[in-house]
Structure 1
Amino acid sequence: MPEHNRVPEHNRVLVIRHEVCSELGFLEAELRQNSIPFRYLDTVLGETLTEPITDYSHLIILGGAMSAFEDEEYPFLRYEFGLIEEAIAQTVPTLGICLGSQILANVLGARVYRGENGREAGWCEVKLKPAAQHDPVFQGLPEQFRVFQSHQDTFEIPQGCVHLAFSDRYPSQAFRYQQHVWAIQFHLEMNEAALKSCGAVIEQELEDSKITDTTLEQMLAEARSHEPLVRPLADRFMQQFIGLTQGVAV
């Protein structure tokens, strides 16, 4: 089998970070429980892979304060675009979260832009579309739930993708490409610890968006109350995502 087409013998997850404070949060539990190794790749610090992307069984792309269309200002994004294109072509199961979802939309040819409805921030309601009921990763999740959000950029659903979730403020909340790529605008991984870790980034986003009726302290308090409800959703979602294998594209 050619080097670039080989499938890893065991699960091994690559996680791209755009903020060094970011972490997998709730999504890490499934990996720890099953002794699945994962590696953070800090592209924002100039890190690149020296091994083929197919050495990894799964790819996760986390959020960040920059925009997917700011690749001239943040040239490391161009490296990411190429890496993600290769992962998609090699049917590596891929998940993009927040900025990661916008990058996936961009790579798949859709428009990513600054939304006109203001920043969606805090614990917001997300609703699943009927297609999510039979989706390999979303199946079994409730039709609506509250989950952390912090974004104003949004995207059009790429051509040929399945629209899976929406919110009242921004309709593009999740989509699937073929049977191995998922994009979620919301932060299913976010718990109190992950939120606190990136507290300075969140506070700067609130200031930049001129939001004064929501504070980091309020978000942390809400995180504590929402965690018991979000944790089982994140566990199920991650269990189903990690259960995917390469070579399932349709």
Structure 2
Amino acid sequence: MEPGAHSGHFGWHSTQIRTDPMTKPFLILQLRPETEASDDEFAAFLAKGGLEPGEVRRIRLDQEAIPEDLTLDDLSGVIVGGGPGCVSDAPEEKTAQEARIEAAVLGLMPQVTARDFPFLGCCYGIGILGAHLGAEVGKGRYGEPVGTADCRVTEAGQDDPLLDQVPESFAAFVGHKEALHVLPEGCTHLVASDSCPYQMVRHGQHVYATQFHPEADGAGFETRIRIYRNKGYFPPETAEDLIAMCRAAEVRAPEVILRNFVNRYRR
């Protein structure tokens, strides 16, 4: 039986989605309310994942809900992008939009994990997975400034198909305020770093999340630095130095993970 091979509805209201009956698209859920950042991230998912526009269904959760009649059986997999929200923030600290986006993503996680359905949560997505599984997610320990992290594949990760052709040590773009404090129950630890121990985990066999950005390259991170320079990720006056660092960084391995996810679950 292929991953997640039984039906179930998400439970949101919207217009009906029509897709090519011969293909099952990847659902790309985006959380960024800034159009330039969202469009750049979407283009990166396509380019780095080896995806054609016709192979995806894009939903910007700041603008629309997940349609009620879209089921996991309609999809090859789910990819969740990053965003400025934090699941560990107190309810009163979240804007109405951030709370609505968080609820939408958390709302699909029970079916994803119960069915072990192909899922890749990027940055924000690891917090969502951890929160859904009841693990501690917070800002107290492992936040990382905008830049690169030196990651290493764990012993368990060396046998994981998404890390095929990924070197044991690699650089990845990061920039986050919160992180997993413990490994969630039912998860396998795949990638670590000294600055943030849980850089990539897998729940079951097909539900993945990364703290780093597998879609990001230097140009994409330059765009995000300019957009989020006043959002508390770094001192605004350091933006140009960070951009220079991103331009000079050699970051290639993370996109292999994204492409391996697409190639493994495309159907």
- 1:243–1:3: structure 2 CA closer, same or farther, 3 Å change rule? same
Q: Indicate the residue corresponding to 1:65 in structure 2.
A: 84
Q: Indicate the residue corresponding to 2:124 in structure 1.
A: 99
One of 169, 172, 189 as aligned partner of 2:195 = 169
Q: Which moved more, 1:139-148 or 1:216-225?
A: 216-225
- How far apart in 1 are the matches of 2:105 and 2:234? 30
Moved over 4 A (4+): 30-36
One of 161, 174, 198 as aligned partner of 1:149 = 174
RMSD: 2.9
Q: Indicate the residue corresponding to 1:13 in structure 2.
A: 26
Cα offsets for 1:31-77 (capped at 9, x unmatched): 55666522322223343224323112111111111111347333311
Task: Give aligned-pair identity as a percent.
Answer: 26
Letter in 1 for 2:133: L
Contact 2:143 2:196 in 1 (8 A): no
TM-score (norm 1): 0.82
- 1:17–1:26: structure 2 CA closer, same or farther, 3 Å change rule? closer
Q: Indicate the residue corresponding to 2:8 in structure 1.
A: 4
TM-score (norm 2): 0.77
Matches within 5 A, 1:125-136: 125-136=150-161
After TM superposition, give the deviation of residue 183 of structure 1 in Å.
0.9
After TM superposition, give the deviation of residue 145 of structure 1 in Å.
1.2
- 1:31–1:127: structure 2 CA closer, same or farther, 3 Å change rule? closer
Letter in 1 for 2:147: G
State the secondary structure of the residue aligned to 1:239.
Answer: helix
Q: Indicate the residue corresponding to 2:115 in structure 1.
A: 90
Q: Which moved more, 1:131-140 or 1:110-119?
A: 110-119
- 1:78–1:245: structure 2 CA closer, same or farther, 3 Å change rule? same
Is 1:236 the counterpart of 2:256? The answer is: yes
- 1:186–1:25: structure 2 CA closer, same or farther, 3 Å change rule? farther
Contact 1:202 1:216 in 2 (8 A): no
Is 1:222 the counterpart of 2:241? The answer is: no
- 1:59–1:33: structure 2 CA closer, same or farther, 3 Å change rule? closer
Contact 2:145 2:233 in 1 (8 A): no
Q: Where does structure 2 lack aligned partners over 5 or more consecutive residues?
A: 10-20
State the secondary structure of the residue aligned to 1:121.
Answer: strand
Contact 1:13 1:38 in 2 (8 A): yes
Matched residues, number:
239
State the secondary structure of the residue aligned to 1:96.
Answer: strand
- How far apart in 2 are the matches of 1:161 and 1:97? 16
